[in-house]
Each structure stands twice: as structure tokens, then as C-alpha cells.
């Protein structure tokens, strides 16, 4: 099986974990926020499943994307390695040609594919954008190829890996700061809207009850707001807005520690709310919040911040090494 080098693979696996680990975190957040709605925890103690509605609605935005929006995206071009002679330079050149076809007001959506040779053998590769040099860079089996496209406006961190079964799509357009590259243009658009969260809540209020509407709307909204902590952002007020709002770039969806923090915080607060709904609560609120919530969450955040800082300094050093290598090549040329 053909693979990209270990450094690129490490930096890109986070991109392909969006729908799995993060889904658990969203579900836990939905349960937690539902438990804060007056009366819901008390009903849960009596056997009501209304609290589960918050978790289900918190998973709905990604369900709409990965089960529906992804498959109706209109593509202008598909890029796939040649079966006869897989070549990273040919892939870089093919993507560069797509940039050249972009015109003002006429963006292009490009889908990247791996090549399936047999049931278990694939040609895979990695793509990154060198914003400083205006290049697209394709890496295959440790071999790097470049193609110059011009000034790039690309905000997503790291490289993108085109692995078995599929790769990402990119929306290319012209903007004030050069070519804009939008990662996964079908994701976190109309489905990730606070306006739609309000619509879902109103519909549930009419169909079930006002409490159900509040639970469902809050569950949906907490998913959208959590996603703003990442890089992609969300189209917060669709249909009144058309593009994703920029994320806060604090974490990646597939980062293990932020997901663990979200699940831990959600479930501990959920447990506390369920206990407080009992006639005779068993949990001492102050010590529980201090030792079961604040202390472990703080420790995990510190560990994550240290890891993120180490990755940042490593990426700076890698960039310096690439610049030094490029200067050496220019001097020899």
C-alpha cells in the first residue's frame, strides 16, 4: 500500500476524524445542556427519555452533512492519480490548472481522490499549500512535487491526506488576498446554523411540547457553537449569510484531549444535575465540582496546551528548514 511519509500522515489524520470521536462529544454536550432545562432532569428521574432528545439534536448537524450534503455537492473537476504511472508532479500540475481556470465570480470545486488498485492496495498522497511561496505541494511515497499557482489565501492548518476510500474537496475562488481555498465546502454550511437550530426547536415545540422544543433547539445550537472553536467555522446565520464564519482556531475536531474534556465535563455536570433532581441528593456539590470537574478538566487543558505549543514550535522549525533548503536550491540553480 502506498503511503505518504510519517510526518505528513501525522499532521493530517486529524482531518479525517471529524464524524466519529467528535460525534460522541457532541452527543454528550447535548445531554448535558438538556439537563439544565427546568424540569428535564426531574422527568429523567421518572424514566422520561426527553433528555436524550438533546443528544440526538446535537448530532443532527453532522448527520445532515455526512449523510446528505456531502453527496449533493456539485463538482467541477475530479483529480485522481494515473493508473499507468502515479506521479505527484502530475497531481500538483492538475490542481494548478484548476486554479488557472478560476475567474472572478466563477469558483471551482475540486474533488481529490486516491487510486484503488486492488481491494487492499491504494495509491494515496498528501496535499499542502505553501502560502509563503504560492505553491501547491503533493507528497507521495515521500516524494514531494510542487506547482506554482500564485498568491494563496488558505486558513486551514496542516496538510490534507487523500487516503483509502476518499479525499477532501476544495472550493477555489478569487478574493482580495489572492486565491481562496475553502476546505470541505459542503461541510458546516446551511446545516450548522443557529437560525436552523431555532427552526428545529420551534418545530419540536409544536409537535411535542415547549420543553422538547427548548431541549432540541439548545442541543442543536451547542453543536454549532462548539464547532466555532475549530478552524472551519460555521455558517452561523444561514440563510441570511452565505459563507462560513471563521473559527477560533483553538483545536481540531479530532484532537483527543479536547474531545475527552468535552465528554468528561458534559457527563459530570449531567450526573450532578440528575442527582440534584432527586428528593435526597447524594453528591456534595462543592467538592464534586472542585475535584471531579474543575481539577481534571484544568489538568487536561494544560496538557493539551503544552502539546499544541510543541507542535507549533516544531512546525516553525520545519518551515525554517524548508526555507533554508529552498534558498540552497536557488543558490545552486
* Digit-coded pLDDT (tens) for 74-125: 999 999 999 989 999 999 999 999 999 999 999 999 999 999 998 889 999 9
- Angle (CA) 176 95 181, round 5°: 30
How confident is the model at residue 318, as a pLDDT?
Answer: 67
Provide CB contacts within 8 A for 160, sequence distance 6+: 12, 15, 112, 126, 127, 128, 167, 168, 183
Tell me which residue has cell 472553536.
229
At 251, list the grid cell: 483545536
What H or E segment, with its residue span, contains residue 142? none
* pTM of the entire predicted model: 0.85
**CA neighbours closer than 13 Å in the CB half-sphere of residue 199:** 12
Q: Could you count the other beta carbons within 10 Å of the beta carbon of residue 289?
A: 15
SS3 labels along 51-72? HHHHHHHHHHHHHHHHHCHHHH
Beta strands in the chain (DSSP E): 77-79, 108-112, 115-116, 122-123, 125-130, 135-140, 143-148, 152-153, 160-162, 169-175, 178-183
How confident is the model at residue 12, as a pLDDT?
Answer: 35
How confident is the model at residue 314, as a pLDDT?
Answer: 77
How far, in Å, CA of 30 to CA of 50, rounded?
11
List of the chain residues with pLDDT < 70: 1-21, 157, 318-333
**What does the domain layout of the chain look like in residue ranges?**
6-70+188-313, 74-185
How confident is the model at residue 21, as a pLDDT?
Answer: 54
- Tell me the C-alpha to C-alpha distance, in Å, between residue 117 and each of 21, 25, 54, 114, 325: 30, 36, 44, 10, 35
Question: How buried is residue 105: exposed, middle or buried, by Cβ count under 10 Å (0-12/13-18/19+)?
Answer: exposed
Amino acid at each position: 500500500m502506498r503511503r505518504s511519509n510519517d510526518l505528513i500522515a501525522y499532521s493530517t489524520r486529524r482531518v479525517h476524524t471529524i464524524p466519529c470521536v467528535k460525534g460522541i462529544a457532541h452527543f454528550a454536550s447535548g445531554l448535558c445542556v438538556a439537563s439544565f432545562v427546568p424540569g428535564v432532569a426531574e422527568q429523567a428521574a421518572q424514566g422520561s427519555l426527553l433528555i436524550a432528545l438533546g443528544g440526538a439534536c446535537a448530532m443532527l448537524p453532522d448527520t445532515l452533512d455526512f449523510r446528505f450534503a456531502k453527496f449533493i455537492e456539485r463538482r467541477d473537476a475530479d483529480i485522481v492519480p494515473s493508473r499507468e504511472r502515479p506521479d505527484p508532479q502530475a497531481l500538483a500540475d492538475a490542481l494548478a490548472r484548476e486554479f488557472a481556470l478560476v475567474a472572478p465570480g466563477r469558483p471551482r470545486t475540486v474533488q481529490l481522490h486516491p487510486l484503488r488498485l486492488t481491494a487492499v492496495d491504494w495509491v494515496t498522497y498528501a496535499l499542502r499549500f505553501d502560502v509563503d511561496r504560492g505553491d501547491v505541494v503533493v507528497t507521495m511515497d515521500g516524494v514531494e512535487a510542487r506547482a506554482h499557482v500564485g498568491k494563496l489565501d488558505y486558513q486551514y492548518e496542516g496538510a490534507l491526506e487523500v487516503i483509502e476510500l476518499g479525499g477532501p474537496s476544495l472550493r477555489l475562488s478569487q478574493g482580495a488576498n489572492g486565491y481562496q481555498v475553502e476546505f470541505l465546502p459542503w461541510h458546516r454550511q446551511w446545516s450548522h446554523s443557529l437560525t436552523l437550530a431555532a427552526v428545529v426547536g420551534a418545530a419540536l415545540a409544536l409537535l411535542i411540547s415547549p420543553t422538547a422544543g427548548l431541549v432540541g433547539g439548545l442541543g442543536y445550537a451547542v453543536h454549532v457553537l462548539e464547532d466555532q472553536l475549530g478552524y472551519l467555522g460555521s455558517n452561523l446565520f444561514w440563510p441570511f449569510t452565505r459563507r462560513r464564519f471563521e473559527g477560533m482556531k483553538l483545536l481540531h475536531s479530532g484532537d483527543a484531549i479536547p474531545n475527552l474534556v468535552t465528554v468528561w465535563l458534559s457527563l459530570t455536570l449531567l450526573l450532578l444535575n440528575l442527582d440534584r433532581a432527586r428528593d435526597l441528593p447524594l453528591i456534595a456539590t462543592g467538592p464534586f465540582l472542585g475535584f471531579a470537574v474543575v481539577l481534571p478538566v484544568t489538568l487536561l487543558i494544560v496538557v493539551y496546551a503544552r502539546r499544541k505549543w510543541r507542535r507549533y514550535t516544531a512546525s516553525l522549525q520545519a518551515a525554517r528548514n524548508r526555507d533554508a533548503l529552498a534558498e540552497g536550491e536557488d543558490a545552486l540553480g
